[in-house]
Structure 1
């Protein structure tokens, strides 16, 4: 979370672009985007990141899920004793299941591509 806050400060205070941040940190654009996505999560989920209950990759996947499901997904990831890889898969499956359900209810072919 500290990295995310630092990136946001560079963008807002110094007017840097995400591209410049990635070059200055020696990181990819995806790394910068992932960190910034963490700032969009609700505070209780951010706290789980700080406590290291979930890692930034898992949190990034959670941030891609619909807002109303993020907390439930984060809680499930923390509760279930799985490997990091399996937890990432769990988040993706939750996203896809919701997407399919919503598409059926809304009679659309649009799907969430997390």
Structure 2
């Protein structure tokens, strides 16, 4: 995707598509497939619906590209940071907390 967000669809039929000029995925088998809807979301990790599994797809770095911190997911990212769900190093956590502080105004 243009944002750098990585997603996976584990089926061979999905491979027969191509990107459109608008950045969507064109595939006759899945004509209504929405790449954006398949992207990782901060709330899914904060609520335990998704868990990091050590790969690039389920990494904090990919989540930040797929669902950048904003006022709507601020609380989710705070939970991710407080629980250190991704096992991030101190420098990464400090960078994330700085972003969150700017968004939260505190």
- Structure 1 and Structure 2 fold alike (TM over 0.5): no
TM-score (norm. length: structure 1): 0.28
Greater relative contact order, per chain length (Cα 8 Å cut-off, separation 6+)? 2
Relative to its length, the structure with more helix (as a share) is 1
TM-score (norm. length: structure 2): 0.29
